[in-house]
Amino acid sequence: MLNFQYYAPTKAVFGKDAELETGSLVKQEKCSKVLLHYGGQSAKKSGLLDRICKALEEYDIDYVMLGGVVPNPRLSKVYEGIELCRKEGVDFILAVGGGSVIDSAKAIGYGMANPDCDVWDLYTGKARPKGCMPVGAVLTIAAAGSEMSDSSVITNEDGWYKKALNTNYARCRFAVMNPELTYTLPEYQTESGCTDIMMHTMERYFVLEDTMKITDGIAEALMRNVMENAKILLKEPENYDARAEIMWCSTLSHNDLTGCGTNGGDWATHLIEHELGGLFDVAHGAGLAAVWGSWARYVMDEKPERFAKFAENVMGIEDQGDVKKTALAGIEAVEAFCREIHMPTNLRELGVEPTEEQIRDMAMKATNNDTVELGVFKKLKAEDLIRIYTAAK
């Protein structure tokens, strides 16, 4: 077990009608004007934005609105938000949506708090953030866990680079979570979100060092719970209890709880998928499902015992009498689960057929022109990523 620090400052407000408390929560931040940031038309059509606006007005909180955030949120929208916030004198950002909206809100917050540099330079590492304007979230999609994580991921349309920025500055002040707000999500989006939750936990689970039993136990229980309820939601999309379980798992999977006592996790699969998302604009969870099996088979021999433990404790695989056989059976079980919830297990099923040139381009972008190695379970260079992308075809 390694030494660790655990920091989770976000206030979670969970349950039916939780969004009605938004005005009170924002008021407590002592702000003067809010940017209400959201995605497409669903938040408007459902009446959610009207309810939130009314909640803000009840506390005499002024606000401006900026919609149009898309999956794999764009840098251009971030620039638009920064310009609007400066013009309107905004001092708090309220994200209404899923991980893409929250990530975009965080990026705008970074831009506002770091006026001496281009916000994209913070994501590429050319500059370091000195702060972030306060951000809160009303969650409408259980998937990314951005409502309680330190992460923000943005796509730059110039070259279609997708980069992450992780600092405690951007952790949300509060996260409002009403599972009922996820009832109307399409099946694909729901199950893609469930896959993302699984992968956030698996990234932290697959490490080489010895771990704490309690950390493993929490992670294993969380993953089993996600699989159980993901299957329920295929048949009962308005099952409140299943939606609630998934929403809370989403938050716990990405607030670092399941990584305590480790090095923080591997994250190669996420970085591999980021380039898919940047180039082909695929759903993040589905992209992860499409490449995970190829990554797992490629790195498994570094510590097959870890994969075997996962197979037995999470996937319910019986000991095969050989650690590698057990490990491989666990990988196959994950792919079977993905197929059961209608998620892809390769790039073809994802609807993507990259050329050799595109594969090399993604590998070079992910490794910053082969100057950075990805992962900790097995250090991966650009050529390793090319093999993984190719195996995933």
What value does the mean pLDDT take over residues 368-379? 96
Entry pTM: 0.93
Number of domains in the chain: 2
- Burial code of 193-212, b = ≥16 C-beta within 10 A, e = fewer? bbbbbbbbbbbbbbbeeebe
What value does the mean pLDDT take over residues 76-92? 98
Could you give the CA distance from residue 252 to residue 255 in angstroms, rounded to a whole number?
5
Regarding whether 161 and 40 lie in a shared domain, the answer is: yes
Write down which residue in 134, 153, 181 finishes a domain: 181
Cβ pair 148, 172 in contact under 8 A: yes
Q: Which residue has better confidence, 115 or 264?
A: 115
- For residue 1, pLDDT beyond 80: no
Residue-range definition of the domain harbouring residue 194:
187-391
Q: Where residue 74 sits, what CATH number does that domain have?
A: 3.40.50.1970
Torsion sign (Cα): 333, 307, 223, 169: negative
Judge whether 4 lies within some domain.
no
Could you give the CA distance from residue 63 to residue 61 in angstroms, rounded to a whole number?
7
**Which pLDDT does position 217 carry in this prediction?**
97
Judge whether 216 lies within some domain.
yes
What value does the mean pLDDT take over residues 31-60? 93
Whole-number percent of the chain with pLDDT over 70: 100
Judge whether 211 lies within some domain.
yes
Judge whether 5 lies within some domain.
no
pLDDT digits (tens, 9 = 90+) for 340-362: 999 999 999 999 999 999 999 99
How confident is residue 43, by pLDDT bands cut at 50, 70 and 90? confident
**Which pLDDT does position 31 carry in this prediction?**
92
Write down which residue in 120, 152, 181 finishes a domain: 181
Judge whether 364 lies within some domain.
yes
Average pLDDT, the chain: 96
Regarding whether 317 and 290 lie in a shared domain, the answer is: yes
- For residue 336, pLDDT beyond 90: yes
Regarding whether 191 and 177 lie in a shared domain, the answer is: no
Judge whether 129 lies within some domain.
yes
**Which pLDDT does position 5 carry in this prediction?**
87
pLDDT digits (tens, 9 = 90+) for 127-137: 999 999 999 99
Regarding whether 133 and 258 lie in a shared domain, the answer is: no
Regarding whether 224 and 170 lie in a shared domain, the answer is: no
Q: What is the largest CA-CA distance in the chain?
A: 67
Regarding whether 328 and 201 lie in a shared domain, the answer is: yes
3-state helix, strand, coil in the chain (%, to 5): 55, 10, 35
How confident is residue 332, by pLDDT bands cut at 50, 70 and 90? very high
**Which pLDDT does position 131 carry in this prediction?**
98
Regarding whether 355 and 245 lie in a shared domain, the answer is: yes
Regarding whether 200 and 107 lie in a shared domain, the answer is: no
77 C-beta neighbours (distance < 10 Å), count? 23
- For residue 196, pLDDT beyond 90: yes
Judge whether 120 lies within some domain.
yes
Could you give the CA distance from residue 223 to residue 204 in angstroms, rounded to a whole number?
12
Regarding whether 194 and 169 lie in a shared domain, the answer is: no
**Which pLDDT does position 377 carry in this prediction?**
96
How confident is residue 166, by pLDDT bands cut at 50, 70 and 90? very high
How confident is residue 261, by pLDDT bands cut at 50, 70 and 90? confident
Mean pLDDT is highest, among 41-45, 86-90, 211-215, for 86-90
Q: How far does CA 242 lie from the centroid of its chain?
A: 20
What value does the mean pLDDT take over residues 48-75? 96
Q: Where residue 204 sits, what CATH number does that domain have?
A: 1.20.1090.10
Whole-number percent of the chain with pLDDT over 90: 93
Regarding whether 169 and 208 lie in a shared domain, the answer is: no
Regarding whether 194 and 159 lie in a shared domain, the answer is: no
pLDDT digits (tens, 9 = 90+) for 306-318: 999 999 999 999 9
Task: Please name the helix (run of DSSP H) or strand (run of DSSP E) that holds residue 138, with its range, or none.
Answer: strand 135-139
- Both tokens of 196, joined, read 């993302």
Write down which residue in 163, 181, 199 finishes a domain: 181
Using DSSP bridges, classify how beta strands 151-156 and 161-166 pair: parallel, antiparallel or unpaired: antiparallel
- For residue 40, pLDDT beyond 90: no
Regarding whether 242 and 131 lie in a shared domain, the answer is: no
What value does the mean pLDDT take over residues 249-276? 93
Cβ pair 71, 100 in contact under 8 A: yes
Judge whether 198 lies within some domain.
yes
